Amino acid sequence: MLPGRMNPRQMERMMKKMGLNVEEVTDVKEVIIRTSTKEIIVHDPSVTVMDVRGERSFQVQGSVTEKTLKEEIPESDVELVASQAGVSKDQARKALEDTGGEPAEAIIRLMGG
- What is the pLDDT at residue 1? 47
- What is the pLDDT at residue 9? 85
- What is the pLDDT at residue 108? 94
Q: Detail the DSSP E strand segments found in 1-113.
A: 20-25, 30-34, 38-52, 55-68
Residue 55 near residue 85 (C-beta atoms within 8 A): no
Residue 109 near residue 98 (C-beta atoms within 8 A): yes
pLDDT in tens, the chain (113 residues): 455 677 888 888 888 888 888 899 999 999 999 998 899 999 999 999 999 888 999 999 999 999 988 778 999 999 999 999 999 999 999 999 899 889 999 999 999 86
